[in-house]
């Protein structure tokens, strides 16, 4: 993982604080769903609390309006919260209307965006075309959700990297990974960033672990759990 950057994905303040001290982590992302699950009530208060913890690494916060004018107002407000903020803009609203005009306007004015929830090469091309070449931007392709449909995300991610070369200041995120292996897959196809939840990131310490040792530990776990449960079979 020499070039691939790891971004921690979540909305738990204690988890964010823990990962902010991890030298492997280069940035942070969150979204309204993760925030709701974490019990966040006040969106701005939460964001400002995160930015007190994460001062020198990029953090993405998402707009949640559904009409483009209100999305723009929210985006401009979020952008004022910190120089390290990327404003997350969904590729479409809930009606399927492409947010390209908003993406173009924001990046033309130097606002750094993280365009999210992409799953097709057509979407990647359309978003890339809207980015201002002078403004650093992120495109998040949900490789994990693509895989959930039975499709191999690797070719899509590899071609996305190629498409985005037309905007050298843009970076591709392998979003919604399902397992640690995805980190190595993302690096293999040339992704710039992968987001991962804390439970996946904590498995990094297992990279290269001896499989015979791992097998024995698994057997020991099964045995110890059976003993703790006091299971018995009369023989």
List the domains of the chain with CATH numbers: 5-205 (3.20.20.70)
Q: Tell me which residue has tokens 């559904």.
A: 66
Contacts of 217 (CB under 8 A, 6+ apart): none
Give 42-51 pLDDT, tens digit per residue.
999 999 999 9
Average confidence (pLDDT) over 164-182: 96
Give 187-235 pLDDT, tens digit per residue.
999 999 999 888 888 888 899 999 999 999 999 999 999 999 999 999 8
CA distances from 56 to 21, 30, 83, 233 (A): 12, 17, 9, 58
**Known catalytic residue at 52:** no
> What predicted TM-score, i.e. pTM, was given to this entire model?
0.92
Q: Pick the catalytic residue: 3, 5, 88, 165?
A: 88
């Amino acid at each position: 993982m020499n070039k691939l950057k790891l971004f921690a994905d979540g909305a738990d303040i204690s988890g964010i604080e823990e990962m902010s001290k991890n030298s492997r982590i280069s940035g942070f992302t969150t979204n309204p769903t993760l925030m709701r699950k974490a019990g966040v009530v006040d969106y701005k208060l939460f964001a400002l609390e995160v930015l007190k913890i994460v001062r020198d690494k990029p953090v993405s916060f998402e707009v949640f309006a559904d009409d483009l004018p209100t999305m723009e107002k929210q985006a401009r407000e979020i952008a004022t919260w910190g120089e390290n903020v990327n404003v997350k803009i969904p590729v479409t609203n809930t009606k399927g209307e492409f947010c390209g005009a908003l993406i173009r306007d924001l990046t033309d004015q130097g606002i750094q965006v993280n365009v999210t929830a992409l799953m097709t090469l057509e979407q990647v091309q359309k978003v890339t075309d809207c980015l201002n070449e002078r403004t650093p931007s992120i495109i998040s392709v949900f490789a994990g959700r693509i895989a959930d449909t039975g499709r191999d995300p690797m070719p899509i991610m590899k071609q996305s990297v190629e498409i985005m070369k037309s905007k050298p200041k843009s970076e591709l995120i392998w979003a919604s990974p399902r397992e640690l292996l995805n980190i190595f897959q993302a690096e293999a196809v040339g992704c710039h960033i992968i987001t991962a939840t804390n439970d996946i990131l904590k498995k990094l310490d297992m990279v290269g672990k001896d499989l015979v040792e791992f097998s024995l530990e698994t057997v020991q776990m099964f045995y110890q759990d059976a003993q703790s449960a006091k299971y018995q079979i009369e023989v």
